[in-house]
Amino acid sequence: MTIASSSPPSRLPLGGATGAGTKSRTRRARSRENQGDGRLAAVFIAPAMLGFLVFLLWPTLRGVYLSFTRFNLLTPPEWVGLDNYVRMVNDPIFWDSLTVTVEYVAINIGVQTVSALAIAVLLQRLTQSAVLRGVVLTPYLMSNVVAGIVWLWILDTQLGIGNEIIAGLGFDRIPFLADETWAVPTIALINVWRHVGYTALLLFAGLMAIPNDVYEAAKVDGAREWRMFWRITMPLLRPVLAVVLIMTVIGSFQVFDTVAVTTAGGPANATNVLQYYIYGAAFGRFQFGYASAMSVALLVVLSAITVLQYRLTRAGQSDLG
């Protein structure tokens, strides 16, 4: 006689096993999806990354290396250590060029920032016409070389229409680009004219990100336009304004083409900005090692200024919460 086993049949933990399997399959599906997105992102990033490596990173590293060499383009670079930097520190023309550049940057940034901010506020508060924004941006569409040549003709002491108008009003003609006192401010204002529209549109975009509810609440409390500008607009615009200042300061320190086509560094080195002096050392006197050393010095100065601006203006923080 067969006796049946009394042990209960084994049961599988269906709920737990099914849940664990589902979670595992979900994780694997998400992992495959993330890998696919990563590959697609890499495809889109690759051209920009290649351009960065070829046209920015490699020239920068090559320039740093050449700054420690004597190199005239015709013979292999000869390692000289810190000789180029010692020469730079003892070069009065280098320091004079740096002083001229700082003067240019101060005038350009000061006038451009105030003017661009005024234009941006007027665009926001009075009209948001796309046509008017296009008109404001028009000078920026012109190249620096063309703008410099046009203003060189306009401001010519003898034949320029600008001086013709001044003479017609009974005043003496002004040698805007031929006088040591007028040359740097004139070049700075020429570049202000060209870039102010672009800067204004960047600030206008920042103003458009400020909620209208903030202004409406201030009006209910009886605040006037001037008070709202200083208490609302400026604090909330600070991050955008900080980034714009960083961009414009870096661009101003790199001024070259306007000087090259208007004054060529003259008169008497009055407009010999640092970039023009570097260009002359490299392609005029074939002192590529020394020019590279000055370029590295400019890179260090701009990096320090950028970090200082970023920290002082708290560019990474916003009062919009």
User: Do residues 320 and 236 touch, judged by C-beta distance below 8 A?
Assistant: yes
Q: Which residues contact 74 (CB under 8 A, 6 or more apart)?
A: 286
User: Do residues 293 and 67 touch, judged by C-beta distance below 8 A?
Assistant: yes
Tell me the pLDDT tens digit for each residue of 40-62.
888 999 999 999 999 999 999 99
CA 55, CA 48: separation in Å to the nearest integer? 10
User: Do residues 109 and 248 touch, judged by C-beta distance below 8 A?
Assistant: yes
pLDDT of residue 221: 84
Predicted structure pTM score? 0.84
Tell me the pLDDT tens digit for each residue of 153-177.
999 998 899 999 999 999 999 999 9
Find the radius of gyration of the CA atoms of the chain. 30
Q: Which of 200-236 are b and which e, b meaning 16 or more Cβ less than 10 Å from the residue's Cβ? A: bbbbbebbeebeeeebeebeeeeeeeeebeeebbeeb
CATH value of 78-313 in 1.10.3720.10, 1.10.287.70, 3.30.365.10, 3.40.1210.10: 1.10.3720.10
pLDDT of residue 32: 65
Give mean pLDDT in consecutive 10-residue pieces for the chain, a chain of 321 residues: 47 52 65 72 92 94 96 92 96 96 96 95 83 90 93 93 94 93 96 95 91 87 86 89 93 94 92 96 95 96 92 75 58
